[in-house]
Amino acid sequence: MTPSRDEILSWAQHYVADLLERPVAEIDPDADFDRLGIDSALAASLLIEIEDRYGVDLPPEALFENPSLAAVASYLQEHAGTAGASHGDAGRQ
């Protein structure tokens, strides 16, 4: 079963909050990565974690074309179902 957009978004907000050492409530899912303080190194970390967690090959340009957590969650939700993603641990935080 493909994780829902909300599940992906919640995980991404928690993950980014940990990376940035900020409360989850401060991570606006609609804010551009620049506004959140996500630089290229943090974006690469997010990309790798998404690929490992959801079993989807996420091209780096997908982050530039979808420059917010909400946009990435929508992109991932759409592509996870079509890429045969592995979601065995998708509920883990």
For the chain, domains (ranges, CATH) are 5-82 (1.10.1200.10)
Q: Tell which residue, 84, 63, 59, has the closest CA to residue 12.
A: 63
Express each pLDDT in 12-24 by its tens digit: 999 999 999 999 9
Q: 8 is written with which tokens?
A: 């992906």
Residue 87 has a pLDDT of 41
SS3 of residue 68 by DSSP: strand
pLDDT exceeds cutoff 50 at 93: no
Express each pLDDT in 45-90 by its tens digit: 999 999 899 888 888 898 889 999 999 999 988 887 654 434 444 4
SS3 of residue 74 by DSSP: helix
Residue 18 has a pLDDT of 96
Angle between helix 69-82 and helix 40-54 axes, rounded to 10 deg: 30
Express each pLDDT in 27-38 by its tens digit: 999 999 999 999
Residue 1 CA to residue 35 CA, distance in Å, equals 33
Question: Rounded to two decimals, what is the model's pTM?
Answer: 0.80
Residue 1 has a pLDDT of 66
- How many residues belong to the chain? 93
Q: Tell which residue, 2, 56, 66, has the closest CA to residue 31.
A: 66
